[in-house]
Chains A and B, each alone.
Chain A
Amino acid sequence: MHYISNILFAILLVIGIGFFTKNVKKLIRNIKLGKDIDRSDNSSQRWKNMTNVALGQSKMVRRPVAGILHIIVYLGFIIINIEVIEIIIDGLFGTHRVFAFAGGLYNFLIGSFEILAFLVFISVIIFWIRRMIIRIPRFWNKEMTSWPKNDALNILYFEMVLMSLFLIMNAADQNLQLLGADHYIKAGAFPISKHIAGWLPQNIDTLIIIERAAWWIHIIGIFIFLNYLYYSKHLHVLLAFPNTYYANLNPIGKLNNLESVTNEVKMMLDPNADPYAVPEETETDEVPEKFGASDVVDLNWVQLMNAYTCTECGRCTSVCPANQTGKELSPRAIMMKTRDRIEEVGKNIDLNGTFKEDEKSLFTTISNEEIWACTSCNACVEECPVEIDPLSIIVDLRRYLVMEQSSAPQELNMMFTNIENNGAPWQYNQMDRLNWKDE
């Protein structure tokens, strides 16, 4: 009889991890929809960057209050997960506090987990207050309605519940230990839950129900949370690491040069090139490369990973000069819309085997007005705690609008014409370029 719970646990574990694996595979497939970009260089610099920015949270503390609270939650998340290993072993083999043999070390660890759990709980409450009571503006931009808003709150509630269950479980356990209940060996230190223990009944049967219920809901909650990640902005807990590893290491002012353009321009400038030459027959019927991006498959995989990594914290948008002055542009919304579109394309592929034309693109949700409001000042890029680059997407969209659609704002077309004709963005004669010296 008593194997039933072990079997049930094993089934839940397999389902939980199975679904998660399936989602991770889908995530990787979707990211690979992006074009290739070589970021295999400079691995030591990349490790260092990841260690500083993701592991060390160095950019989080640009905003000290949110940064420090986040570090608490982050440390709690990582360290308390050691306890999850014990919970899984106990669940599978019907043991109880299987690591208790470690004695003093075990007590120290359980005590630390409790303190962290409490600090996480408090931090999450403060996060909630910042979001819902103080209503910090970056949490209330217009892209933060419906799912994005609920998603953020769901995560906070999830964490509150998980931390509470962990502490309630320990409190009941502690009472059971003191009452000498079978199976509940004396182990652990309970600096926080001892204050809750007094509120619980002192009846062994009731305590066992409370302890078991808290234990089960806690671990099931963790399995659910694990599988919630893929659908949530919370995916950053995993992707922050590869995202910072593969981040751009060049000076952020440097934009990439389009190779396809370089080849054409070289041809045009080559005095030996024959303008009437028949293009060489290539073996494959390659479609000429599109300039810039109109859809997610035109972006590179790092840009797509950026979109999945975005936690929608809105630091980028809060420093964006265009957004601050009431323009449509929000760098965060660019990332969110990109992710939504990747998901849409992914589902399309799931349904049809390969992508079936759906008459949609990034421009379905991203307006020209947003794209042309950007000053390319890089404040968003500088600010992002996980090194997302919204500007690179904006530039790729501009490239498409200009080079494929010829639909730049009229004033910019005039600027282009001026540069072409007289080598300056204004209409001055090239021969007057040195006139200043005699003026």
Chain B
Amino acid sequence: MKVPTMAEMMAEGKSPEVLFWVGCAGSYDDRAKKITKAFVKILNNANVEFAVLGTEESCSGDPAKRAGNEFLFQMQAMTNIEILNAYEIKKIVTACPHCYNTLKNEYPELGGNYQVMHHTEYLKSLLDDGRLTIESGQFKGKRITFHDPCYLGRANGIYEAPRDLIKKMDVELVEMKRCKSDGLCCGAGGAQMFKDSEKGDKEIFVERTEDALEVEPAIIATGCPFCNTMMTDGIKNKEKEKEIQVLDIAEIIASAEE
């Protein structure tokens, strides 16, 4: 798999058109790594000259900030900004809405000004530029519902890019009763991913999975590694893992190409 790092690019005197910010989940989490690889595959097929930071990348600071540790967040942010600025990065794409939100909205005041895109936005732009073709492949005619990640949807108003990509696949896009700006959180945001939930009568991911089950999808599409984890847990909790797949949009597009 061709994954050049910024350091390698620099050594060759090249600069990439876009930096792929992989994020911690995309780098370490077994499930999310598949999303990362699917996205890289699409980038390579579309002949996008990209690079990653590799071991120079570090947590964006989002979970620290949302958990109230502003010190740690700003330490992370400023260290990352120093590296990004040293490489003169202009454009960043990431498959994690949390990194996306933080890099896009919270880094500029600290000196990091980049054009930041979520991978669904980026794929949509490749599609619009004719660099990417989307085939329906094995998913043709299947029912797909899209779970809006809070940090993509409500936080940044991006609802259509992921849907536009899904619609290109010749599938049946079905909306949950709570979708877009009314979408229900998967339960992972605000650093909840890293702790047990407070006591209550239900897990949020179960509540959200029930929303999805109501529309009887074959696939629950997501655009966030954390939502992916939560929805996968929800499907397991409901013992539906044989009938329903939870997939990132990048994975759907990449496997349709096969």
Report the interface size for chain B: residues with CB under 8 A from the other chain. 73
Minimum CB–CB distance from B145 to chain A (whole Å) comes to: 18
Question: Chain A, 265-280, contact with B by CB distance < 8 Å: what is the 0/1 string?
Answer: 1101100000000000
Contact in complex: A265, B74 (CB < 8 Å): yes
The residues in A between 405 and 439 inclusive whose CB is less than 8 angstroms from any CB of B are: 408-409, 411-412, 414-416, 419-420, 423-426, 428, 430-434, 436-439
The residues in B between 179 and 235 inclusive whose CB is less than 8 angstroms from any CB of A are: 181-182, 184-185, 187-204, 206-208
Interface assignment of A377: CB less than 8 Å from any CB of chain B = yes
Contact in complex: A424, B59 (CB < 8 Å): yes
Contact in complex: B59, A423 (CB < 8 Å): yes
The interface-forming segment of B49-57, B124-132, B136-144, B161-169 is B49-57
Interface assignment of A257: CB less than 8 Å from any CB of chain B = yes
Interface assignment of B75: CB less than 8 Å from any CB of chain A = yes
The interface-forming segment of B11-19, B86-94, B152-160, B242-250 is B152-160
Minimum CB–CB distance from A305 to chain B (whole Å) comes to: 23
Chain B residue nearest in CB terms to A257: B109
Among A258, A375, A381, A428, contact of B185 (Cβ-Cβ < 8 Å): A375
Contact in complex: B155, A415 (CB < 8 Å): no
Report the interface size for chain A: residues with CB under 8 A from the other chain. 68
Contact in complex: B78, A376 (CB < 8 Å): no
Contact in complex: B194, A425 (CB < 8 Å): yes
Contact in complex: B191, A412 (CB < 8 Å): yes
Interface assignment of A172: CB less than 8 Å from any CB of chain B = no
Residues of B within 8 A of A411 (CB): 194-196
Residues of B within 8 A of A374 (CB): 190
Contact in complex: A408, B67 (CB < 8 Å): yes
Minimum CB–CB distance from B59 to chain A (whole Å) comes to: 5
Give A376 to B185 CA distance when docked, in angstroms.
Answer: 9
Among B27, B72, B78, B82, contact of A434 (Cβ-Cβ < 8 Å): B27
Contact in complex: A423, B201 (CB < 8 Å): no
Q: Report which residue of A325, A381, A414, A434 has the largest number of chain B beta carbons within 10 angstroms of its beta carbon.
A: A325
Give A403 to B5 CA distance when docked, in angstroms.
Answer: 36
Interface assignment of A34: CB less than 8 Å from any CB of chain B = no
Of the A-B pairs whose beta carbons lie under 8 Å apart in the complex, a sample of 6, sorted by A's number, is A251-B104, A268-B75, A327-B199, A374-B190, A397-B68, A433-B54
Apart from A378-B150, A379-B185, A434-B52: 8 A-B pairs, beta carbons within 8 A: A265-B75, A325-B206, A326-B201, A373-B198, A376-B189, A377-B185, A401-B68, A416-B72
